[in-house]
Amino acid sequence: MKRPTTRHAFLGILAALAGAGSLPLATSAHESPIDHVSRVLQLTVQRKDAVDHLMISYRIVLSERAALLQLRAMDANQDAKISDAERAEYLDKLAVDISRQMQMTVDETAVPVAVAGSCQLDAEFGQTFTFSVPLPRLTSGVHTAQLLDMYSRNFPGPYVLRASRPGTTTQPAISPVELSISGIGGETPTTAPALRHDKPHESMIAVKLKLTVP
């Protein structure tokens, strides 16, 4: 007789939530290394209404324990059921929380980071958030920028950084601003190279960018 896998056991726990009154879970999601999350940051410069924006696709993949903690937090009325409204409200608030913990500067001037769409979920406990940073009008030449992900300080883990250009069909117009991360230039999303860090980072993710304006 086969022993149940960890994933199957976890799915069983989720099913049990429908009848559970309470579970002895911690309230802080970073009390154990098993709460570490992996993330992929894909950065693209797009032009919207004649304004260039740095678009940040921010995908986090939760541990099973962290996902379970999220489900408990989503259950606002504590009826042991997660409604679509509860899930949407929780993820919308989480997106705002993450955006407020991102600090972006261009030429040492702070620029705001805003939520730019609903969170997309996937079957691997992944959650993809989209953020937008309106770029100031930049003169011709090379400009330096930095993105600090302070959310990653509380939820560390392996990460991938990628710079890409928007596609030519469904994506907004391509901006003339060229983007690079530590020398990696922007390419199409399907061929963009990446910087990969496979061990949990010690403090927080700091992305140094170069914006080249023709």
Is 3 within a domain? no
pLDDT in tens, 99-157: 999 999 999 999 999 999 999 999 888 999 999 999 999 999 999 999 999 999 888 88
Instruction: Count structural domains, the chain.
Output: 1
Is 18 within a domain? no
Domain interval for residue 188: 31-213
Q: What distance in Å separates the CA atoms of residue 154 and residue 144, rounded to the nearest whole number?
A: 26
Is 21 within a domain? no
Which residue spans within the chain are E strands per DSSP? Answer: 38-48, 51-61, 102-106, 109-111, 114-115, 120-121, 126-134, 141-149, 159-164, 173-174, 178-181, 184-185, 194-197, 205-213
Record the tokens describing residue 160, joined without a space: 């991938």
Q: What distance in Å separates the CA atoms of residue 20 and residue 110, rounded to the nearest whole number?
A: 46
- Cα-Cα end-to-end distance for the chain: 66
Q: What distance in Å separates the CA atoms of residue 26 and residue 97, rounded to the nearest whole number?
A: 20
Is 12 within a domain? no
Are 130 and 96 in contact by the 8 Å Cβ rule? The answer is no
List Cα–Cα distances, 131 to 45, 67, 83, 102, 160, in angstroms: 12, 22, 25, 10, 17
pLDDT in tens, 21-42: 333 333 344 445 556 789 999 9
Q: Quote the crossing angle between the two packed helices 6-16 and 64-74, to the nearest 10°.
A: 10
Q: CA angle 99-58-154, nearest 5°?
A: 60
Is 8 within a domain? no
pLDDT for the residue 19: 32
DSSP type of residue 27:
S
pLDDT for the residue 202: 65
Is 110 within a domain? yes
Is 15 within a domain? no
Q: pTM value?
A: 0.79
pLDDT in tens, 157-194: 889 999 887 765 455 566 788 888 866 777 776 676 77
pLDDT for the residue 174: 64
pLDDT for the residue 13: 38
